Amino acid sequence: MKLLSLEHIHICYEKKVVVEDVSFGIEEGDFLCILGENGSGKSSLLKGILGLIPMAGKMQCFFKKEEIGYLPQFQVHTKFPATVFEVISSGFSTSFLKKDTIKKKVLENMQRFHMEDLRNCSFQELSGGQREKVLLARTLTEQKKILFLDEPTTGLDPVSTKELYQMIHKLNQEQKMTIVMVTHDIDRALEYANKILYLKKKMLFFGTTDQYLSCDICENWVGCGHD
Amino acid sequence: MINAFIEIFSYSFLTKAFFVGIFVALCSSLLGIILVLKNYAMIGDGLSHVGFGSLSLATFLHISPLLFSIPVMVVASFFLLKMNRKNLHGDSSIALISMSSLAIGILFSSFQKGMNINLSSYLFGSILAVSTEDLILSILLAIIILIFFFKYYFTIFSITFDPDFAKATGVKVERYYMIFSLFTALIIALGMRIMGTLLISSLIVFPALTTMQYFKSFRGVVIGSFLVSAFSFTFGMVFTCLWDIPVGASIVLFNLLFFLLFKILSWKGRVS
C-alpha cells in the first residue's frame, strides 16, 4: 500500500535551488535511506516532506500528521535544563490526554527503551548515544506509522550507532513501521534498508538496495572515499 | 522589615504598585525562561527602548502614554522577533531598533521644556506612576499568561526545546512565537512604569539565568524563577520603602543577589 508519493518536487533555500525535480514513492513497511554528499539536499528534502520548509511540486500523504515520528538532526542547547522524563513527555505536546495518562505512557515508553534509571537525569549530561535513544523514545510515544530520521548517528561511537540501527530495524521489522532515513552511513544503509534514494540536488537514483549495488553511482560514491 | 512590608498595604498607591509589580515580575519570569533559552533575551531590552521612544512621543503629542505605547510595542515585538529569526545578525538588528527608538525618545523629550517628570519616571521607574488602570490590566494579563503557560506547558517545552520536532508533529510554532512576543510587549509596557525602561528587561533575564545555574529540570527552573522573581520584587519594594531608594534599582540588585547565591549553590553542588 502506498504511503507517500512525491512528484516533481523543487525546494529553494535562500534563493538557491537545493532540490530539483525529485519524484518517488514509498510503500508501507519500506526502509528508505536517502544518501548523498554534504549539501546534496537530503535534509532539505526531508524537511520539505515534513512541512518545515516550503517546497513546490505534488505530494500525496496517506497518513495523518499524528502518525508521523521525527528524529531531527539535533543540536541541543548546551545549557537547556530538562530531565529525560521531561524530554520524552514533550512527545505528547499535541495530545489531549490527561496528565496522569501521559505520565503512565512515558514510563511505559522508558521501560520499552530500557531507560528507567535515566528518568531524572539531566538530558544535557547524557552521552550522545543515550540522547539519541531518549529522542527516539520521545518520537515514539504514541503509535506511529512512519518515522523520519535525519542523520541520527552523527557524532555517535560505533557501539551506539549499531545499537540505534538495530533499534530502528526492529521497529521496521516487528512493528512494520515505515522508515525514511537521511544518512551518510552507506554500509548500514545497504545492510538495513530495502530502498535507496541517491540525491545530488537532482535524484540520481531511486530503487531497491540490490539495484543500487549494481549501478554506477554506487561504485562512484564508494570510490570517492565516502564511508 | 516586616513592618515595612505591612506598611506597603496601608497606602493605596503602594498597594497598587506592589500588585502591578508582582504580577509583572511573575509573568516576566515565565516568559524570560523561553526568551533566554531561545536566545531572544535581548528582545526585551529592545522593546523597553521602543517603549521609551513611544512614551516620549505620546507625551509630546499629549495622548495617553499607555494607549499609544502598547500598540507600538506590540508591532515592534513582532518585527523584532521576525528580524531576530530571519536575520543572521539578530542582535545587531535589535541594537539598531533600540538606538533609533532611544534617539526618537530623546529628541521629542528635548522639544519639551526641561526634562519632563513623566519621562524621567519612565526612564528610571517610580512607584508613584502606577494607576488603577495599570492594576486592572496587570491582573487580567497575569491571569491570561498563567493560564496559557500551564495549559500549554508541554507544548511550550517542546517548542523551546526542539521547534523542528514540535512543528513536524503539528504544533503551530510560529503562532506560539507571536503569542510570546505579544505577551512580552504587554508585560514590558506595563512594567516599565515601576521598573523604568532602562531596567525592565532585567525582570525577564535575571530569574531564568539565576535558576538555570542550579536546576537541571525545566520544571525546577519554572518554579525557581517564579519564586526568585517574587522574592526579589518583594524585598526590592520593602527596601525602597525603608530607605527611600529607586524601586527599579533595588529590585535588580536583589535579583543580582539571588544570582550570586545560586552561583555559590551550583559551585557547592558541583564540588559535593
Q: Give yes or no: residues A111 and A85 share one domain.
A: yes
Q: Judge whether A68 lies within some domain.
A: no
Residues A137 and A153 in one domain: no
How close A195 gets to chain B, by Cα (Å)?
Answer: 23
Tell whether A174 is covered by a domain.
yes
* Long-range contacts at A114-117 (CB < 8 A, ≥ 24 apart): A115/A84
Report the C-alpha gap between A223 and A225 in whole angstroms: 5
Phi-psi region of A41 (alpha: psi -120 to 50; beta: other; left: phi over 0): left
**What is the phi/psi pair of residue A207, to 5°?**
175, -165
Question: Are A72 and B165 a contacting pair at CB < 8 A?
Answer: yes
- Report the phi/psi class of residue B142: left, alpha or beta, with left for phi > 0 and alpha for psi in -120 to 50: alpha
Q: How many domains is chain A partitioned into structurally?
A: 2
Domains of chain B in sequence order: 2-266 (1.10.3470.10)
Position B70: which residue type?
I
Domain identity same for A161 and A128: no
What is the rounded (10 degree) CA torsion for A203, A5, A144, B152? 90
- B88 touches A at CB < 8 Å: no
What residues of chain A lie within 8 A of the CB of B166, using their CB? 90, 93
The helix (H) or strand (E) run that includes residue A106 is helix A99-112
| Minimum-distance CB partner of B37 among A65, A72, A80 | A80
What percent of chain B shows pLDDT beyond 90? 37
CA distance linking residue A66 with residue A64, whole number of Å: 5
For residue A89, the chain B residues in CB contact (below 8 A) are 154, 157
Shared domain for A105 and A203, answered yes or no, is: no
Q: What is the pLDDT of residues A73-89, one digit of tens each?
A: 766 666 789 999 999 99
Is the domain of A160 the same as that of A227? yes
Confidence at residue B115, expressed as pLDDT on a 0 to 100 scale: 56
Q: How far apart are the first and last CA of chain B?
A: 35
Residue of A14, A86, A93, A102 best to disrupt the B interface, most CBs of B under 10 A: A93
Task: Name which of B214, B56, B210 is nearest B122 in CA terms.
Answer: B56
- Looking at the fold, whether A45 and A151 belong to one and the same domain comes out as yes
Query: Nearest-CA residue of chain A relative to B38?
Result: A77
| Closest Cα in chain B, distance from residue A104 (Å) | 15
Let me know if residue A46 belongs to a domain.
Answer: yes
Distance between CA B59 and CA B104 in Å, rounded?
A: 12
* A104 assigned to some structural domain: yes
Range of the domain at A160: 1-63+145-227
Cβ-Cβ contacts under 8 Å, A74 against chain B: 162
pLDDT at A153: 81
Q: Does one domain contain both A29 and A103?
A: no
DSSP B213-235: TT--SHHHHHHHHHHHHHHHHHH
Does residue B271 carry a pLDDT above 70?
A: no
Q: In the Cβ-directed half-sphere of B75, how many Cα atoms lie within 13 Å?
A: 5
Does the beta-carbon distance from A68 to B169 stay under 8 Å? Answer: yes
Among the partner residues B161, B164, B170, nearest to A90 by beta-carbon distance: B161
Q: Quick one: A3 and A106 in the same domain?
A: no
Is the distance from CB of A147 to CB of A178 less than 8 angstroms?
yes
Look at residues A116, A142, A168 and tell me which one is the last residue of a structural domain: A142
* Residue A63 or A95, more confident: A63
Helices (H), chain B: 2-8, 12-37, 41-61, 65-86, 90-110, 117-124, 132-151, 153-161, 163-168, 173-195, 201-212, 218-243, 247-271
Answer whether residue A226 shows pLDDT above 90: no
Distance, in angstroms, between A55 CA and closest chain B CA? Answer: 15
Q: Which of A91, A125, A142 is the last residue of a domain?
A: A142
Task: Examine residue A103 and state whether it is found in any structural domain, yes or no.
Answer: yes
Look at residues A142, A166, A190 and tell me which one is the last residue of a structural domain.
Answer: A142
Residue A168 lies in a domain: yes
* pLDDT of A48: 92
Residue A74 resides in a domain:
no
**What's the rounded mean pLDDT across residues B223-248?**
90
C-alpha angle B171-B174-B176 in degrees, rounded to nearest 5: 70
Cell 507517500 belongs to residue: A4
Instruction: Give the DSSP H/E element, type plus range, for residue A165.
Output: helix A158-174
CB B54 within 8 A of CB B72: yes
- The answer to whether residues A164 and A221 belong to one domain is yes
The rounded distance, in Å, linking the Cα atoms of B36 and B205 is 7
* A126 & A86 share domain: yes
Burial B128-157 (b: 16+ CB within 10 A, else e): ebbeeebbebbeebbeebeebbeebbbbbb
ipTM of the complex as predicted = 0.81
Same domain membership, residue A217 and residue A154: yes
- Give yes or no for a contact between B37 and A76, defined as CB atoms under 8 angstroms apart: no
Give the three cell numbers for residue B237: 519594594
CB contact, 8 Å: B162 with chain A? yes
> Any idea what the CATH number is for the domain that residue A194 is in?
3.40.50.300
Residue A72 lies in a domain: no
Residue range B129-141: average pLDDT? Answer: 85
Over residues A164-177, the pLDDT tens digits come to: 888 889 889 988 89
- pLDDT tens string A98-136: 888 888 888 888 887 788 888 889 998 888 778 888 888
pLDDT digits (tens, 9 = 90+) for B191-225: 887 888 888 889 999 999 999 999 999 999 999 99
Say if residues A135 and A87 touch (Cβ distance below 8 Å): yes
Rg (CA), chain A: 18
- The better pLDDT of the pair B198, B36 is held by B36
Check whether residue A131 and residue A151 sit in a common domain. Answer: no
Q: Give residues with Cβ within 8 angstroms of A9, minimum separation 6.
A: A19, A21, A22, A23, A45, A48, A55, A56, A57, A58, A59
